[in-house]
Structure 1
Amino acid sequence: MLRELIYCSIGLVLFAYALDYAFSFADDEREPKRISPKVPLIGHLLGMVKYGVVYFTNTSKQTTAEMYTLPVLNNKVYVCNSLRLMPLIQKNFKTVSFRPWLKTSAERIGGNSHEAVELFGGPLVDDFERIIRLTLEPGPWLDAQNLRMGQSCSALINSLVGGLEGEEGNKVWLLSWVKHLVVQASSCGVYGQEHPFLDPAIVKAFWVFHEHMLAQMASLDFFQRCTKAREVLYQALLKYCAAPPADIAHTVVERQRVLREAGMSFEEAVKQEIVMCVATFINTASTLYWTLWELFSRPEVLAEVREEVEAHAVYRKSGEEKKNKENEDLEEQEEEGKEGEHDAEEADFVLDVAALKTRCPILLSVLQETQRMRHVHANIRKVLSDTPLDDGRYLLRKGYYVIMPAPPIHANTSVWGPSAGTFDPYRFMPSRNKASKSDAGAAAPPSGFLSWGAPPYLCPARQFASTEVLIVTALLAMRVDLTPAASGGKWEANPALNYNELITLCNPAKDVEMRVKPREQGVGKWALKMGESRTRVPIASG
């Protein structure tokens, strides 16, 4: 019996290798060359499940090719490492498209029915993309959303600082606190003050859902943890959408309208809010976590950011001399401000969010350098028809997928200079002539910075998310000192990461307890002023 099992196992392995070899005969000579897995047929699939999107970065280190192929059974994934080829792929967006991913996310993440999923293969896609982009552009709609979000951020930080006892402050688990803040503040901005995620059970269900989402995407959620958690979210959102509050964000109203007018039922349209919650919470939380980590672990840069924010974006509302020496028109702006901007009239300090966006380049540079160094996401496209690239040198075959991982581009010394592998907090400063601080080269082209996606498919909520990260980082920088509670207060340079999440910046494998101590210079009541309606965060992606 044992002999038969051994022979059978050997036979299966040989058959798998033979089948894998047979599939390669169907390759066109112009297709990118294959990188064969150690385990035939399914080796790359196992790697994707184990390492998530980081797997594409790992395989890219095995070759110097601009583009290569990962075979998975009789399917293929083309991986592009080249900044030279990437614009050519983007130029062919009609035949190498992100849009099929909308159907995949509707089915796998939202749990939509087959009929609802098929709607994303028709005219709905244009209307849906357009309305999301339009309602999240800087303007009155986003202003109202940002105001609610900012007020919630400020209130949560007030609770953190107000709960600190004694001169030594208190302790907090940083990742847990950041996740809590992002879910509460983002939900307040998007769904209003009476949002579904005020219920801790709904928040818990969301993070369980996210934890098992990668397995769900690969059809490996055998115990249906993801499916069960999604049902909890769905019931909460169903109840919310049946009677939405008056302060619901315009973007929610409009995307629900577009879905319904396209023929989607109310119940199916609500499922799309699950997809939107994933897009809203997950990546903002990880980006905020690492921005805080990179800033507070560099005392000299932190001191510069504090000086910058205090000089350009913070002023007093008391009778004392205003902190912002360059904003001579703040009193006029105050008269034009919106009502209810977090009790600004009674505050000791006011953070001007418009000035924070446009007049604090070091802080913005730290945020973008954090994204460049820690971004692991791989932009995905599906080939809708045979597409030649580079004057026919490469051929992308219909039905297969194209992956554009960010790390090989973000680490490219021809794009970012010889310091590409080093964290440079000044890299994204408007003036590139900073020989005393940085050896960064000329500003990278838009295709060289992929943290918000690859044109023409950029994250439509990038202004909302980056504003949230800037507000929280600035308030914490001005109000508290943050240091690891263990290891003598030393910051770990390269903490172990969690690769089992579908995310753009990997979270740490273990949460870190932080000591939070109030700064004497920031003691008092803080408020926000949102500023001019059309003010954008000048991020590199546009």
Structure 2
Amino acid sequence: MDSIVLAPSHAVIAGSGLGNKADAASIAGGVLETMMTTGAGKISTIVLASIVALFLLDQFFTAKVDPQEPPLLKPRFPLIGHLVGMMLGQQSYFQKLHKRNSPPIYTLPVLNGKIYIATSPPLIQSALRGKDLSFDPFVVDFAQKLLGLDEATMAIIRDESKGTTTNADMTKAIHGGLSGGNLLRTNRAVLEDVAAQLNAFPLGNDGLEIPDFWIWLRNLLSAATTKALYGKKANPFDTIPTMFDDLWQFDTHTPTLMISPFPWLTHPKTLQARARLQAAVVDWYTAGNDKDPDIAAIAAYRAETLRRHGFSARQIGQIEISLALVSMQNAIPTLLWLVLNVYQRPGWVERIRLEILDTLQEAKPVNGMRQVQIYVSSLEEKAPFLLACYKEAVRIGNAQLGTRRVMQDTYISDGKGNRYLVKKGIDMLMPCGVMHRLDNVWESDTDSFNPNNFLSPEQKGLDPQTQSEREKLRKASYIPFGGGKHYCPGRKFAMYEIMALMATLVVGFHVSPLGGGEEIQMLEMMGVRFGEAVAKPKRNGEGCPVRLKRKEGWEAVRWRFVC
């Protein structure tokens, strides 16, 4: 078990049994002297000396912890153990620590610094509600390296002379652009293009052979999303054939790009892809297309905010490739995991189909084609099993690392009398990968796809009174979209487009493996790395060829989404 320094009682529980630094130095020195005087080989001496040196450095340089701070969780290997563990395991390292019976919140020493890791639902909710913990510093920290911004651009981003900041005003612009009528209009624009692509499907029995289902879904929703954001007249993603490939190349390598000391050497293709994306989007803003009424409100509001803060069209274009990226990088892989998991179980496909049939309405046929309408905003209420499957796809796939920086010394509490001091300048991490797989919260086998996690007790035939505590824990543990003032404003945007597309597939189309059989192949998930939120498929989704064709009785149909 990892050793834990129980700071509140000043007791040290260490695997070595050493009580203080003086004792540690004395014993370590004795062991080293014994090795050297007994004629042990030079290699053994060097190895042992290195281990002893690390041990001594660990004793002397491990970050200090206040008695009221979360307890210290020391690494098994001195000083660098946690750092190596995070580098090798990425976000799965936190699950590994959790399985070793770690405390509900602990201080993780990393070299001579420290971070807080919280895995208790009540403590995380306390942190998310806290006014003294903020996500804002990370936006500024990462913007320069992620987007390659120059110092002049960063100076405007950091400027607080107007009594506000670019980031604060951009947050307001995002919320305004994705609320009320603006949200519905943007969803409608996305789904109009999705409908146009589905309506173009051949009417014959052969349907469409799709050699790579992941790439097909990715391109379908990428095309629809960019047209909704940037308008149909001058969409920058229509200017270069490789734009979508460039976007996903950039997305795939963002985690390693962020930490590379020499990105020009380690990531030349990714930097080239980013440069092409930025050049096309810069041209779009230079032409003033952000003032076109056809574009999404969120794109217009963000551009207006950036112009008001003094950014040039070139600077706006360089920054705003992030808009396209965040609009798709999590929603599209979530759609993939939803489709693949549901289509593994024909009974689930039928259950969703019956839910959707009750929501459909038909208009008068046009040129012999049925006009079938899906009322998107009603799906959340009238398709509870589809909604449960969507939420379960998010739970399974989303392992984002909630991150907050402590801006002032403050306390967080679990509501049961336990509270912890968190200190100014220290970062707190809240790993979804742990929260979304807590054994005492979710249904058995938390690694498996189980929509029952999101059905109400009544829908599962259980007494709500006996399930109330567990239901509260589930709500507190389900944090894929953050919380507090940083609650993701795009969560409904993604949910509506994913549920609407899924509803259309199960009612109007037959999805089958190209090689025959009934169930399409399940793809493996990659581990989620730092800087990512939702798992992508391994090997870029290779190995899932499907045939997509219109279902019998639904051949002559034109689909329309009503938002």
The question of whether the paired residues in 2 share the 8 Å contact of 1:150 and 1:468 is answered with: yes
TM-score, with structure 2 as normaliser: 0.80
Determine helix, strand or coil for the equivalent of 1:447: helix
Letter paired with 1:149? V
Shift of 1:84: 1.9
Whether 2:126 is the aligned partner of 1:88: answer: yes
What stretches of structure 2 of length at least 5 have no aligned partner?
Answer: 1-40
The answer on 1:48 being equivalent to 2:86 is yes
CA deviation profile, 1:214-249 (whole Å, cap 9, x unmatched): 112223544233333221211111011122154221
**Post-superposition shift, 1:40?**
4.5
Change (3 A) 1:418 1:7: closer
| Displacement after TM superposition at 1:470 (Å) | 1.1
- Partner of 1:504, secondary structure, is coil
Task: Say yes or no: does 1:150 pair with 2:197.
Answer: no
Amino acid at match of 2:219: H
Question: Does the CA-based 8 Å contact 2:510-2:550 persist in structure 1?
Answer: yes
Q: Hey, what does 2:177 align to over in structure 1?
A: 135
| Residue 239 to residue 493, structure 1, CA distance change in 2 (3 Å) | closer
Q: Is the 8 A contact 1:113 1:268 kept in 2?
A: no
Q: 1:183 aligns with which of 202, 222, 236?
A: 222
**Displacement of 1:65:** 0.9
Mapping of 1:107-506 within 5 angstroms? 107-121=144-158, 122=160, 123-124=164-165, 125-139=167-181, 141-159=182-200, 161-162=201-202, 166-167=205-206, 170-193=209-232, 194-198=234-238, 199-220=240-261, 221=263, 222-225=265-268, 226-243=270-287, 244=289, 245-312=292-359, 314-318=360-364, 347-390=370-413, 393-416=419-442, 423-429=449-455, 432-435=458-461, 441-442=467-468, 443-444=471-472, 446-485=475-514, 488-490=517-519, 495-500=524-529, 502-506=531-535
Q: What's the offset of the Cα at 1:435?
A: 2.1
Counterpart residue type for residue 548 of structure 2: V
- Does the Cα contact within 8 Å between 2:132 and 2:410 map onto a contact in 1? yes
Partners of 1:439 and 1:200 in 2: CA distance: 57
Q: Is the CA contact 1:206–1:229 (under 8 Å) kept in the aligned structure 2?
A: yes
Distance 1:50 1:281, change over 3 A: farther
Q: What CA distance in whole angstroms lies between the structure 1 residues aligned with 2:466 and 2:259?
A: 40
| Separation of aligned partners in 2, 1:216 and 1:6 | 38
Distance 1:267 1:13, change over 3 A: farther
Per-residue deviation at 1:146? Answer: 1.6
2:550 aligned residue:
518
SS for the counterpart of 1:85 is helix
Give the counterpart letter for 2:438 in structure 1. N
Residues 63 and 212 from structure 1, CA distance in 2 versus in 1: closer, same or farther, beyond 3 angstroms?
Answer: same
Q: Give the Cα separation in 2 of the matches to 1:204 and 1:422.
A: 31
Q: Deviations over 1:398-448 (max 9, x none)?
A: 222111112332233544466766533244345634228999934446433
The 1:296/1:239 distance shift into structure 2, 3 A limit, reads same
Q: Indicate conservation of the 8 Å contact 2:55/2:79, yes or no.
A: yes
Q: Is the 8 A contact 2:92 2:527 kept in 1?
A: no
Q: Whose relative contact order is higher, 1 or 2, with alpha carbons under 8 Å and at least 6 apart?
A: 1
Paired residues, number: 501
- 1:136 offset after TM fit, Å? 0.3
2:63 and 2:480 mapped to 1: Cα distance? 37
Give the superposition deviation at 1:306.
0.7
Native 8 Å contact 1:413 1:420 kept in 2: yes
Deviation at 1:381, TM superposition (A): 0.8
Deviation at 1:530, TM superposition (A): 2.1
Q: Give, in whole Å, the separation in 2 of the partners of 1:90 and 1:436.
A: 31
Q: Deviations over 1:250-294 (max 9, x none)?
A: 211111111222233332222221222221111011110001112
Q: Normalising by structure 1, what TM-score?
A: 0.83
Aligned to 1:64: 102
In the alignment, the residues of structure 1 paired with residue 93 and residue 139 of structure 2 have an alpha-carbon distance, to the nearest angstrom, of 22
Counterparts in 2 of 1:311 and 1:264: CA distance versus 1, 3 Å: same
Identity %: 24
RMSD after superposition: 3.2
Shift of 1:493: 6.5
How many angstroms does 1:368 deviate by?
0.6
User: Is the alpha carbon distance of 1:500 and 1:473 closer, same or farther for their aligned partners in structure 2, counting shifts above 3 Å?
Assistant: same
Letter in 2 for 1:267: R
Letter of the 1:126 partner, please give it. A
Displacement of 1:371: 1.2
What is the deviation of 1:55? 3.0
**Preserved CA contact (<8 Å) 1:171 1:513:** yes
Structure 1 unaligned spans of 5+: 320-342, 532-542
Task: Please tell me whether the aligned partners of residues 260 and 266 of structure 2 are also in contact (alpha carbons under 8 angstroms).
Answer: no
Instruction: Check conservation: 2:443, 2:452, Cα contact below 8 A.
Output: no
1:382·1:399 contact (CA, 8 Å) conserved in 2? yes
Q: Is the 8 A contact 2:337 2:393 kept in 1?
A: yes
Paired residues of 1:137 and 1:463 also in contact (CA < 8 A): no
> Which structure has the bigger radius of gyration?
2
Aligned mates of 1:438, 1:295 — CA distance in 2: 27
Q: SS at 2:211's partner residue?
A: strand
Report the alpha carbon displacement of residue 12 of structure 1 after superposing the two structures with TM.
Answer: 4.9
* Distance in 1 of aligned mates of 2:199 and 2:476: 39
CA deviation digits over 1:160-210, x for unaligned, max 9?
Answer: x32x86448623312111211221111111111232222332222212211
Structure 1 residue 353, shift from structure 2 partner: 2.0
